[in-house]
Structure 1
Protein backbone atom coordinates (compact mmCIF):
# COMPACT_ATOMS: atom_id res chain seq x y z
CA UNK A 1 0.00 0.00 0.00
CA UNK A 2 2.87 2.36 0.73
CA UNK A 3 4.16 1.93 -2.80
CA UNK A 4 0.78 2.98 -4.26
CA UNK A 5 0.54 5.97 -1.92
CA UNK A 6 4.13 7.04 -2.68
CA UNK A 7 3.59 6.72 -6.44
CA UNK A 8 0.34 8.68 -6.23
CA UNK A 9 2.05 11.44 -4.19
CA UNK A 10 4.95 11.60 -6.64
CA UNK A 11 2.56 11.82 -9.61
CA UNK A 12 0.58 14.59 -7.88
CA UNK A 13 3.80 16.50 -7.14
CA UNK A 14 4.94 16.19 -10.77
CA UNK A 15 1.58 17.41 -12.07
CA UNK A 16 1.67 20.35 -9.66
CA UNK A 17 5.21 21.25 -10.78
CA UNK A 18 4.20 21.04 -14.46
CA UNK A 19 1.15 23.23 -13.83
CA UNK A 20 3.35 25.77 -12.04
CA UNK A 21 5.80 25.85 -14.95
CA UNK A 22 2.99 26.35 -17.45
CA UNK A 23 1.45 29.09 -15.33
CA UNK A 24 4.76 30.93 -15.09
CA UNK A 25 5.47 30.63 -18.83
CA UNK A 26 1.99 31.64 -19.97
CA UNK A 27 2.05 35.38 -18.99
CA UNK A 28 5.31 35.98 -20.88
CA UNK A 29 4.03 34.06 -23.89
CA UNK A 30 0.68 35.84 -23.77
CA UNK A 31 2.41 39.22 -23.60
CA UNK A 32 4.47 38.33 -26.67
CA UNK A 33 1.33 37.24 -28.53
CA UNK A 34 -0.58 40.39 -27.56
CA UNK A 35 1.98 42.69 -29.19
CA UNK A 36 3.21 41.10 -32.41
CA UNK A 37 5.89 42.91 -34.36
CA UNK A 38 4.23 44.96 -37.05
CA UNK A 39 7.09 45.16 -39.52
CA UNK A 40 5.66 45.37 -43.03
CA UNK A 41 6.38 47.25 -46.24
CA UNK A 42 4.30 47.65 -49.36
CA UNK A 43 6.93 47.69 -52.10
CA UNK A 44 6.40 49.12 -55.57
CA UNK A 45 8.69 49.11 -58.60
CA UNK A 46 7.95 51.29 -61.60
CA UNK A 47 9.98 51.17 -64.81
CA UNK A 48 10.87 54.54 -66.31
CA UNK A 49 11.31 57.98 -64.79
CA UNK A 50 8.82 58.54 -62.00
CA UNK A 51 8.64 62.22 -62.84
CA UNK A 52 7.58 61.50 -66.43
CA UNK A 53 5.26 58.59 -65.68
CA UNK A 54 3.23 59.95 -62.76
CA UNK A 55 -0.44 59.64 -63.67
CA UNK A 56 -3.13 60.24 -61.05
CA UNK A 57 -5.52 57.80 -62.75
CA UNK A 58 -3.18 54.77 -62.26
CA UNK A 59 -3.30 53.08 -58.87
CA UNK A 60 -0.14 51.54 -57.34
CA UNK A 61 0.27 47.92 -58.38
CA UNK A 62 -1.72 48.40 -61.60
CA UNK A 63 0.36 47.87 -64.75
CA UNK A 64 0.00 50.73 -67.19
CA UNK A 65 -0.44 50.15 -70.90
CA UNK A 66 3.15 50.91 -71.92
CA UNK A 67 6.34 49.17 -70.79
CA UNK A 68 8.03 52.36 -69.55
CA UNK A 69 5.54 52.85 -66.72
CA UNK A 70 4.82 49.22 -65.80
CA UNK A 71 4.33 48.93 -62.04
CA UNK A 72 4.70 45.81 -59.92
CA UNK A 73 4.24 45.47 -56.19
CA UNK A 74 4.69 43.11 -53.25
CA UNK A 75 3.91 43.11 -49.55
CA UNK A 76 6.95 42.27 -47.41
CA UNK A 77 6.12 40.90 -43.95
CA UNK A 78 8.88 40.05 -41.50
CA UNK A 79 7.42 38.03 -38.61
CA UNK A 80 7.77 35.43 -40.07
CA UNK A 81 9.50 36.62 -43.27
CA UNK A 82 7.22 36.29 -46.28
CA UNK A 83 6.05 38.27 -49.28
CA UNK A 84 8.75 37.42 -51.78
CA UNK A 85 11.49 34.88 -52.50
CA UNK A 86 14.17 36.79 -50.59
CA UNK A 87 12.01 37.96 -47.67
CA UNK A 88 14.25 36.50 -44.94
CA UNK A 89 17.34 38.26 -46.31
CA UNK A 90 15.40 41.50 -46.90
CA UNK A 91 14.08 41.46 -43.32
CA UNK A 92 17.57 40.81 -41.94
CA UNK A 93 19.01 43.70 -43.96
CA UNK A 94 16.22 46.01 -42.83
CA UNK A 95 16.72 44.93 -39.23
CA UNK A 96 20.45 45.73 -39.45
CA UNK A 97 19.64 49.15 -40.96
CA UNK A 98 16.99 50.00 -38.36
CA UNK A 99 14.25 49.81 -41.00
CA UNK A 100 15.84 52.55 -43.12
CA UNK A 101 16.28 51.33 -46.69
CA UNK A 102 18.71 54.17 -47.46
CA UNK A 103 20.99 52.88 -44.68
CA UNK A 104 21.37 49.38 -46.15
CA UNK A 105 25.10 49.11 -46.97
CA UNK A 106 25.65 49.27 -50.73
CA UNK A 107 26.84 46.05 -52.32
CA UNK A 108 30.18 46.24 -54.13
CA UNK A 109 29.32 45.38 -57.72
CA UNK A 110 29.83 46.56 -61.27
CA UNK A 111 26.70 47.72 -63.05
CA UNK A 112 26.36 48.50 -66.77
CA UNK A 113 26.10 52.12 -67.76
CA UNK A 114 22.74 51.59 -69.41
CA UNK A 115 20.00 54.07 -68.66
CA UNK A 116 16.88 52.04 -67.90
CA UNK A 117 15.42 53.89 -64.90
CA UNK A 118 13.43 52.17 -62.21
CA UNK A 119 11.69 53.85 -59.29
CA UNK A 120 11.52 51.98 -55.99
CA UNK A 121 8.89 52.97 -53.44
CA UNK A 122 8.26 51.52 -49.99
CA UNK A 123 5.49 52.45 -47.60
CA UNK A 124 4.78 50.80 -44.26
CA UNK A 125 6.15 50.56 -40.76
CA UNK A 126 9.18 49.16 -38.99
CA UNK A 127 9.29 48.77 -35.20
CA UNK A 128 6.13 50.87 -34.93
CA UNK A 129 7.72 53.75 -36.87
CA UNK A 130 6.44 54.83 -40.30
CA UNK A 131 8.59 54.08 -43.33
CA UNK A 132 8.36 56.08 -46.53
CA UNK A 133 11.01 55.63 -49.23
CA UNK A 134 11.09 56.65 -52.89
CA UNK A 135 14.18 56.64 -55.08
CA UNK A 136 14.72 56.51 -58.84
CA UNK A 137 17.80 54.55 -59.90
CA UNK A 138 19.46 54.62 -63.34
CA UNK A 139 18.88 50.86 -63.78
CA UNK A 140 17.83 47.74 -61.82
CA UNK A 141 21.45 46.73 -61.15
CA UNK A 142 22.17 49.98 -59.30
CA UNK A 143 18.89 49.64 -57.39
CA UNK A 144 19.80 46.10 -56.28
CA UNK A 145 23.27 47.22 -55.23
CA UNK A 146 21.83 50.00 -53.05
CA UNK A 147 18.68 48.39 -51.63
CA UNK A 148 19.86 44.82 -51.08
CA UNK A 149 17.16 42.17 -51.14
CA UNK A 150 14.28 44.50 -50.28
CA UNK A 151 13.12 45.02 -53.88
CA UNK A 152 14.49 41.70 -55.19
CA UNK A 153 11.26 39.72 -55.07
CA UNK A 154 11.43 38.46 -58.66
CA UNK A 155 15.18 38.15 -59.22
CA UNK A 156 17.74 35.49 -58.36
CA UNK A 157 20.47 35.95 -55.77
Structure 2
Protein backbone atom coordinates (compact mmCIF):
# COMPACT_ATOMS: atom_id res chain seq x y z
CA UNK A 1 0.00 0.00 0.00
CA UNK A 2 1.52 3.39 -0.99
CA UNK A 3 2.28 5.83 1.77
CA UNK A 4 -0.19 8.68 2.25
CA UNK A 5 2.74 10.97 3.01
CA UNK A 6 3.63 12.97 -0.09
CA UNK A 7 7.31 13.06 -0.85
CA UNK A 8 8.90 16.37 -1.67
CA UNK A 9 10.75 16.38 -5.00
CA UNK A 10 14.51 16.71 -4.61
CA UNK A 11 16.17 19.54 -6.53
CA UNK A 12 18.12 18.50 -9.58
CA UNK A 13 21.87 18.89 -8.70
CA UNK A 14 22.58 20.25 -12.21
CA UNK A 15 20.03 23.03 -11.67
CA UNK A 16 21.39 23.86 -8.20
CA UNK A 17 24.96 23.98 -9.55
CA UNK A 18 23.96 26.34 -12.36
CA UNK A 19 22.20 28.83 -10.06
CA UNK A 20 23.99 32.17 -10.27
CA UNK A 21 26.11 33.06 -7.24
CA UNK A 22 24.74 35.76 -4.97
CA UNK A 23 25.86 39.25 -5.97
CA UNK A 24 28.80 40.82 -4.11
CA UNK A 25 28.13 42.82 -0.96
CA UNK A 26 29.39 46.41 -0.94
CA UNK A 27 29.92 47.50 2.67
CA UNK A 28 30.17 51.15 3.74
CA UNK A 29 31.58 52.41 7.05
CA UNK A 30 29.08 54.83 8.59
CA UNK A 31 30.30 55.61 12.13
CA UNK A 32 33.78 55.45 13.66
CA UNK A 33 35.17 55.86 17.16
CA UNK A 34 38.94 56.18 17.64
CA UNK A 35 40.95 55.91 20.85
CA UNK A 36 44.67 56.69 20.99
CA UNK A 37 46.31 54.99 23.98
CA UNK A 38 42.91 54.76 25.74
CA UNK A 39 42.03 58.44 25.18
CA UNK A 40 39.13 59.27 22.85
CA UNK A 41 40.27 61.39 19.91
CA UNK A 42 38.57 62.89 16.91
CA UNK A 43 39.07 60.76 13.81
CA UNK A 44 42.70 60.88 12.76
CA UNK A 45 41.80 59.73 9.30
CA UNK A 46 38.65 59.70 7.26
CA UNK A 47 37.10 56.25 7.52
CA UNK A 48 33.45 57.21 7.18
CA UNK A 49 32.12 56.27 3.74
CA UNK A 50 35.14 54.04 3.06
CA UNK A 51 34.00 50.81 1.41
CA UNK A 52 35.05 47.19 1.11
CA UNK A 53 33.48 44.41 -0.92
CA UNK A 54 32.67 40.77 -0.22
CA UNK A 55 32.54 38.48 -3.22
CA UNK A 56 30.22 35.58 -2.35
CA UNK A 57 30.60 33.75 -5.68
CA UNK A 58 32.60 30.62 -6.26
CA UNK A 59 33.68 28.55 -3.28
CA UNK A 60 34.57 30.52 -0.18
CA UNK A 61 33.66 34.24 0.07
CA UNK A 62 36.54 36.72 -0.31
CA UNK A 63 37.02 40.34 0.76
CA UNK A 64 38.61 43.28 -1.07
CA UNK A 65 40.72 44.99 0.12
CA UNK A 66 42.08 42.20 2.31
CA UNK A 67 43.07 44.83 4.93
CA UNK A 68 39.40 46.05 4.95
CA UNK A 69 40.54 49.63 5.74
CA UNK A 70 42.71 51.34 3.13
CA UNK A 71 45.37 53.65 4.55
CA UNK A 72 48.87 54.96 3.93
CA UNK A 73 50.10 51.74 5.55
CA UNK A 74 48.48 49.48 2.96
CA UNK A 75 51.38 49.64 0.43
CA UNK A 76 53.84 48.83 3.26
CA UNK A 77 52.08 45.67 4.47
CA UNK A 78 54.35 42.79 5.49
CA UNK A 79 53.46 39.44 7.05
CA UNK A 80 49.78 39.69 6.18
CA UNK A 81 47.53 36.92 7.44
CA UNK A 82 43.79 36.40 7.57
CA UNK A 83 41.19 33.86 8.56
CA UNK A 84 39.45 34.23 5.24
CA UNK A 85 35.77 35.18 5.23
CA UNK A 86 33.96 32.59 7.29
CA UNK A 87 30.27 32.05 6.61
CA UNK A 88 28.50 31.06 9.81
CA UNK A 89 25.19 29.35 9.23
CA UNK A 90 22.28 31.64 10.13
CA UNK A 91 24.45 34.19 11.90
CA UNK A 92 26.38 36.05 9.22
CA UNK A 93 30.09 36.21 8.40
CA UNK A 94 33.33 36.87 10.26
CA UNK A 95 36.80 37.91 9.10
CA UNK A 96 40.04 38.46 11.00
CA UNK A 97 43.24 39.99 9.61
CA UNK A 98 46.65 41.08 10.83
CA UNK A 99 49.80 42.53 9.39
CA UNK A 100 52.90 44.55 10.17
CA UNK A 101 54.30 47.59 8.40
CA UNK A 102 57.68 49.35 8.76
CA UNK A 103 57.44 53.06 9.57
CA UNK A 104 61.13 53.94 9.45
CA UNK A 105 62.94 56.11 12.00
CA UNK A 106 60.67 58.00 14.42
CA UNK A 107 61.65 60.34 17.25
CA UNK A 108 59.88 60.16 20.59
CA UNK A 109 59.68 62.72 23.34
CA UNK A 110 60.85 61.35 26.67
CA UNK A 111 58.34 63.45 28.62
CA UNK A 112 60.87 66.09 29.68
CA UNK A 113 60.65 68.04 26.45
CA UNK A 114 63.73 66.45 24.84
CA UNK A 115 63.61 63.90 22.08
CA UNK A 116 65.58 60.72 21.64
CA UNK A 117 67.34 59.91 18.36
CA UNK A 118 65.12 58.43 15.70
CA UNK A 119 64.82 54.65 15.83
CA UNK A 120 63.21 52.33 13.32
CA UNK A 121 59.60 51.69 14.23
CA UNK A 122 56.91 49.26 13.15
CA UNK A 123 53.18 49.08 13.46
CA UNK A 124 51.35 45.81 14.10
CA UNK A 125 47.69 45.87 13.04
CA UNK A 126 44.97 43.37 13.82
CA UNK A 127 41.29 43.57 13.04
CA UNK A 128 37.99 41.78 13.33
CA UNK A 129 34.88 42.15 11.19
CA UNK A 130 31.47 40.71 12.04
CA UNK A 131 28.64 40.96 9.50
CA UNK A 132 25.21 40.01 10.82
CA UNK A 133 22.38 38.35 8.87
CA UNK A 134 20.74 41.75 8.22
CA UNK A 135 24.03 42.85 6.54
CA UNK A 136 24.98 45.31 9.29
CA UNK A 137 28.59 45.09 10.45
CA UNK A 138 30.89 45.91 13.32
CA UNK A 139 34.59 46.36 12.69
CA UNK A 140 37.39 46.81 15.21
CA UNK A 141 41.03 47.39 14.39
CA UNK A 142 43.95 47.87 16.75
CA UNK A 143 47.29 49.34 15.67
CA UNK A 144 50.28 49.01 18.01
CA UNK A 145 53.40 51.11 17.50
CA UNK A 146 56.68 49.46 18.56
CA UNK A 147 60.36 50.01 17.90
CA UNK A 148 61.78 47.50 15.42
CA UNK A 149 63.00 44.43 17.22
CA UNK A 150 61.12 45.42 20.37
CA UNK A 151 57.94 44.10 21.88
CA UNK A 152 56.99 47.05 24.09
CA UNK A 153 53.99 48.99 22.78
CA UNK A 154 54.89 52.68 22.56
CA UNK A 155 51.41 53.75 21.58
CA UNK A 156 48.22 52.16 20.33
CA UNK A 157 45.21 53.16 18.28
CA UNK A 158 41.87 51.38 18.61
CA UNK A 159 39.24 52.06 15.97
CA UNK A 160 35.71 50.69 16.07
CA UNK A 161 33.29 51.21 13.22
CA UNK A 162 29.76 50.28 12.25
CA UNK A 163 28.10 50.24 8.88
CA UNK A 164 25.95 48.31 6.48
CA UNK A 165 26.33 46.20 3.37
CA UNK A 166 24.11 46.11 0.31
CA UNK A 167 24.00 43.76 -2.61
CA UNK A 168 25.73 45.14 -5.68
CA UNK A 169 23.46 44.95 -8.71
- The structure where strand makes up a greater share of residues is 2
TM-score by length of 1: 0.30
TM-score by length of 2: 0.29
- The structure where helix makes up a greater share of residues is 1
